[in-house]
Amino acid sequence: MNILLIHQYFLEDDDAGGSRFNEMVKLWEAKGHKVTVLAGMVHYTKGVKRDRYKGKFVVKRKQGNTEVYRCHVSEAYNVNFLGRLWAYFSFVFSSLFVGIFKIKEKNDLILVTSPPLFVGITAYFISRLKRIPFVFEVRDLWPESAIDTGVLKNKLIIKLAYWFEAFLYRKAKLINVLTPAFKEALIKKNVPKDKIIFIPNAADFSLSEKVLMSDFDRESFRVANGLDGKFVVTYVGAHGVANALGQVIDVAQRVTDTNVLFLLIGEGMEKIQIKEHAKSLGLTNVRFIDAVPKLEVFKYIIASEMGMSVLKNVPTFKTIYSNKTFDYMSCKKPILMAIDGVSRQLVEESESGTFIKPEDANDFERVIRRYLKEPQSLSKEGESGYGYAVKYFDRSKLAEQYLNSLEKMI
């Protein structure tokens, strides 16, 4: 098959962050399929272009065997809501132009992944003009998540967003959802069951095993990075409004009498404010690390005692799986899960950690202190999560299931 993937945030080879589709594409290409990618020039947390993209509308680059067309995106993403909206639509305009006029080879299908929801505009028009079906992937329920986090408030825009969402669901040949709750939500929106498939986020064992099977020395890494003697709890991911990392600062204040160190790795529009807040409180048990390449991320996770998955306490987030949860599982690390709903169910069913009431510092402190008293549970829960992920969330197996669904569709 020839697949056109439209993914505004498809990562560069050396980018930090979740790399689900980067890995999926490699697995598909290894099976003899060709994937062409339409992506943006701006990383979703950094909000700025690399120097090689400055002043350019489109740049065609090779990432391994994959042809990637990097299209113009406004750098106003992290300025305010209007800046973010313009960043979304600037990509729609540039990717639509490139998809219609620059990509000459014939594709069998279009796979578009959202959010942002507006990438569906590009998929729909290219689909109509080139007479090929498009598959729509739902990584996050939008506009619900934007409304719940306060990012989207204008009633007219909200109404238009719901209309456009329903339009895309009607026009898509197939819809992939990343959690069981998303499937239930779409069925309630009158999307036919037989149109929906469920290929979730997954554990990347190739990277965790690459570290574990190498000459990586966990203790030396801890000493070199000032982690020796600490009970390290690591968070990897975006530092945005939705992530509500202020709750980590709140609990850090409460456990200054212990050896707990909270390690926050990543970027985002709230990072400066969170760092300033921690500094103003004089906290020495919270450390911020800028985004690092994925392989380096796994070293930090393996060097930790636990991993954290945290989000704002809003209804929509009860429907999602946090990407990094699977990375913690693949590294045999137990999880502090401050997300209710399906993420809570995942941790409880796999016996891979403990649920914490989101944005509840009292509950967070209680759980942390329990682990300090019962360190023997760390290894048991880490192994349990690893085994569960191997059985149900192996990326290579899920990539093959995804491919099978696409082949059946065409």
Which domains are present in the chain? Answer: 2-202+394-409 (3.40.50.2000), 205-392 (3.40.50.2000)
pLDDT value at residue 146: 80
pLDDT value at residue 17: 58
Residues of the chain with pLDDT under 50: none
Here the tokens at position 130 are 């080139």
CA distance 229 to 343: 30
Confirm if 200 and 284 have CB atoms less than 8 A apart. Answer: no
402: phi then psi, degrees, rounded to nearest 5: -60, -45
248: phi then psi, degrees, rounded to nearest 5: -70, -40
pLDDT value at residue 45: 66
First-last CA distance in the chain? 9
pLDDT value at residue 149: 74
Which of 63, 56, 55 lies closest to 15 in space, CA to CA? 63
pLDDT value at residue 50: 85
H or E stretch covering 169: helix 155-171
pLDDT value at residue 78: 64
pTM of the model: 0.86
Establish how many alpha carbons lie within 13 A of residue 124's alpha carbon, considering only the half-sphere containing its beta carbon: 16
pLDDT value at residue 79: 67
pLDDT value at residue 212: 72
pLDDT value at residue 147: 84
* Alpha-carbon dihedral sign for residues 175, 179, 184, 188: negative
Give the three-class secondary structure for 141. coil
Contacts of 161 (CB under 8 A, 6+ apart): 117, 142, 143, 146, 152
